[in-house]
């Protein structure tokens, strides 16, 4: 099947006429062709968004919110088809894919409704003057979507940007574009003003670079790797764009000596292998108190062995393949580096050889122990189903270890002592710290990291505000 891009309310091929294949990671088969967009296609999309901005931003907040809610409802009515495309394109198990589609709906509806609560501020400087801040849309926003949870991120980014009056160019990931193009088809059947939303496909090296360097793009919201985020910062600096960057993580999961071990293991296994470990908030490093270490490892491995890995279309499958052969090779590179550096591989680490899994990009649930702080698997983001477990003895030691990283996305601490938990939450240098939980994220919760994990926040009222700019109005009443 051949897909098209959606620019200015019209279906378009790439100017080059070229396409590229979409491969099902579960079996290696080609399932579609999508347009190989380029610089001239970006020019069309940016021009369409720029032309649409005055009329879209002039709509009342109630009108914009109603339209975004309509989009959410239309997504809700197409759950099964969107989930099926996510299965085929990304390898997401069907039960998980349905939840991800609903995640897009929830984000769209939350942003549409919360935008109606955004307010300015009056500053009481003197009785003879009136000073206020008002919020205005930024302009043309480029939304660069990651391949691990594309629909959720489209819902979050587009819902926020559109609701407060911006027009948008959505660049879906090149290896996971089908759900976004189906999303465009849904939009095409709605009464969306032409140019308010544009969807253009192609690789980051051409389409992404053209977007980042375009002088008429006012804001870029990107979720992905630190390396790409840094490149976007460099390319966008010629016109000083607004940036919202949600980048990588190597997130500590800390189990103290008084933790509820059963609850910690339950959440640890879910967090490590949900979406085949391809989640920026997954635990990258497990720090287990020496009192519990061996017991934790035994319980973790026993539970991980019970995970059903298989065909994403099977309702009983809990974990599917990684997204591509290239990413499988990357994950396997890290597994081999762990072995070479002396970590102990106690589960997984090999490709399945049983049909039909032998034809897909499967990486089995993998567990390392005897990991040390300076190993590559302890310092770099693997983004796959690999758990790296370490032992610690003192609380001060583990806080130092948790902060010994260039990342600062999230962390979790497991303890029954709430005073101790709050001490850890304050001392860990990360944008989010869970206590007795991990990987719980909702539209109401502001999300974004410290250090090389990003700039700005998504979700919540704070995330909406990222897509606005503050204007001071000052009036002399004397």
Q: Could you tell me the CA-to-CA distances from 113 to 58, 118, 474 in Å, in that order?
A: 18, 10, 29
Instruction: Tell me what pLDDT residue 408 has.
Output: 98
| Helix, strand, coil in percent for the chain, rounding step 5 | 40, 20, 35
Handedness of CA 162, 168, 171, 177 (dihedral sign): positive
- Here the contacts of 15-21 (C-beta below 8 Å, separation 24 or greater) are 15/40, 15/41, 20/174
Please list the residue range(s) of the chain that carry CATH number 3.40.605.10: 5-247+452-475
Q: How far apart are CA 34 and CA 6, in angstroms?
A: 12
Arithmetic mean of pLDDT, 285-307? 97
Residue 246 scores a pLDDT above 90:
yes
CATH class of the region 251-442: alpha beta
Third-level CATH fold of 5-247+452-475: Aldehyde Dehydrogenase; Chain A, domain 1 (3.40.605)
Token pair listed for 373: 């702080």
Average pLDDT along the chain: 96
Of 374, 427, 371, the C-alpha closest to 398 is: 427
Which DSSP category does 309 fall into? B
Instruction: Tell me what pLDDT residue 124 has.
Output: 87
Three-state DSSP at 363 gives: coil
Residue 478 scores a pLDDT above 90:
no
Residue 356 scores a pLDDT above 90:
no
Token pair listed for 454: 């990003």
Instruction: Tell me what pLDDT residue 119 has.
Output: 81
Instruction: Tell me what pLDDT residue 469 has.
Output: 96
Residue 439 scores a pLDDT above 90:
yes
Give 389's strand partners.
Answer: 286
- 209 among known catalytic residues: no
pTM of the model: 0.95
Q: How far apart are CA 248 and CA 276, in angstroms?
A: 16
Handedness of CA 256, 259, 261, 262 (dihedral sign): negative
What are 101-129's pLDDT values in tens digits?
A: 999 999 999 999 999 998 888 888 888 99
Instruction: Tell me what pLDDT residue 38 has.
Output: 96
Q: How far apart are CA 252 and CA 255, in angstroms?
A: 10
Arithmetic mean of pLDDT, 202-228? 96
Instruction: Tell me what pLDDT residue 123 has.
Output: 87
Q: What is the DSSP string of 402-434?
A: HH-SS--SEEEEE-S-HHHHHHHHHHS-SSEEE
Token pair listed for 430: 């990360």
- Which residues contact residue 419 at a Cβ distance below 8 angstroms, ignoring those fewer than 6 apart? none
Instruction: Tell me what pLDDT residue 294 has.
Output: 98
Q: What percent of the chain has pLDDT over 70?
A: 100
Cβ atoms of residues 372 and 378 within 8 Å: yes
Q: Which residue has the tokens 């997504």?
A: 75
E strand map for 5-66: 5-7, 10-12, 19-23, 30-35
Cβ atoms of residues 244 and 221 within 8 Å: yes
Q: How far apart are CA 88 and CA 94, in angstroms?
A: 9
- 452 among known catalytic residues: no
Q: How far apart are CA 398 and CA 378, in angstroms?
A: 14
- How far does CA 85 lie from the centroid of its chain? 18
Arithmetic mean of pLDDT, 92-100? 96
Q: Which residue has the tokens 């393949």?
A: 321
Residue 2 scores a pLDDT above 90:
no
Arithmetic mean of pLDDT, 306-312? 96
Give Rg (Cα) of the chain.
Answer: 23
Residue 64, number of CB atoms within 10 A of its CB: 23
- Among 87, 141, 280, 410, the one annotated catalytic: 280
pLDDT band of residue 1 (cuts 50, 70, 90) is: confident
Token pair listed for 172: 């879906």
- Which residues contact residue 448 at a Cβ distance below 8 angstroms, ignoring those fewer than 6 apart? 244, 246, 431, 454, 455, 456, 457, 458
Of 170, 144, 284, the C-alpha closest to 228 is: 144
Please list the residue range(s) of the chain that carry CATH number 3.40.309.10: 251-442
- Which residues contact residue 206 at a Cβ distance below 8 angstroms, ignoring those fewer than 6 apart? 37, 38, 39
3-state secondary structure 212-236: HHCCCCCEEEEECCHHHHHHHHHHH
Cβ atoms of residues 252 and 431 within 8 Å: no
- Among 109, 246, 381, 395, the one annotated catalytic: 246
Arithmetic mean of pLDDT, 345-367? 94
Instruction: Tell me what pLDDT residue 191 has.
Output: 87
pLDDT band of residue 30 (cuts 50, 70, 90) is: very high
Q: Enumerate the H helices of 164-224 as residue ranges.
A: 178-188, 209-213
């Amino acid at each position: 099947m051949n897909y098209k891009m959606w620019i200015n309310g019209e279906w378009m091929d790439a100017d080059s006429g070229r396409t590229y294949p979409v491969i099902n990671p579960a079996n290696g088969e080609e399932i579609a062709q999508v347009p190989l967009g380029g610089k001239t296609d970006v020019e069309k999309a940016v021009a369409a968004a720029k032309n649409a901005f005055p009329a879209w931003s002039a709509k009342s907040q109630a009108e914009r919110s109603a339209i975004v809610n309509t989009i959410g409802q239309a997504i809700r009515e197409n759950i099964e088809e969107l989930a099926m495309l996510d299965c085929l394109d990304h390898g997401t198990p069907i039960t998980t894919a349905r939840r991800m589609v609903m995640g897009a709906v929830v984000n769209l509806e939350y942003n549409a409704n919360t935008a109606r609560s955004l307010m300015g501020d009056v500053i009481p400087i003197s009785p003879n003057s009136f000073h206020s801040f008002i919020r205005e849309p930024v302009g043309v926003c480029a939304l660069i979507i990651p391949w691990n949870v594309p629909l959720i991120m489209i819902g979050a980014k587009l819902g926020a940007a559109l609701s407060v009056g911006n027009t948008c160019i959505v660049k879906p990931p090149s290896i996971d574009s089908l759900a976004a193009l189906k999303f465009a088809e849904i939009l095409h059947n709605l009464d969306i003003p032409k140019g308010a939303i544009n969807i253009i496909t192609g690789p980051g090296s051409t389409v992404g670079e053209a977007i980042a360097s375009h002088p008429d793009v006012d804001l870029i919201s990107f979720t992905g790797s630190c390396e790409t985020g840094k490149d976007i910062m460099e390319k966008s600096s010629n016109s000083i764009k607004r940036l919202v960057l949600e980048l990588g993580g190597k997130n500590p999961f800390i189990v103290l000596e008084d933790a509820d071990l059963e609850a910690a293991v339950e959440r640890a296994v879910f967090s490590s292998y949900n979406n085949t470990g391809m989640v920026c908030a997954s635990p990258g490093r497990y720090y287990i108190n020496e009192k519990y270490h061996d017991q934790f490892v035994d319980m973790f491995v026993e539970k991980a062995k019970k995970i059903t890995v298989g065909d994403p279309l099977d309702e009983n499958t809990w974990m599917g393949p990684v997204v591509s052969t290239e990413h499988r090779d990357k994950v396997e590179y890290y597994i081999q580096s762990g072995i070479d550096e002396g970590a102990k591989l106690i589960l997984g680490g090999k490709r399945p050889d049983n049909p039909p899994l032998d034809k897909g990009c499967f990486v089995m649930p993998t567990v390392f122990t005897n990991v040390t702080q300076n190993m590559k698997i302890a310092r770099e983001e693997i983004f796959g189903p690999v758990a790296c477990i370490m032992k610690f003895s003192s609380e001060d030691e583990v806080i130092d270890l948790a902060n010994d990283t260039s990342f600062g996305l999230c962390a979790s601490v497991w303890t029954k002592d709430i005073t101790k938990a709050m001490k850890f939450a304050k001392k860990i240098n990360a944008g989010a710290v869970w206590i007795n939980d991990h990987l719980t994220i909702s539209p109401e919760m502001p999300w974004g990291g410290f250090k090389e994990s990003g700039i700005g926040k998504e979700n919540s009222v704070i995330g909406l505000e990222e897509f606005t700019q503050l204007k001071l109005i000052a009036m002399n009443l004397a």
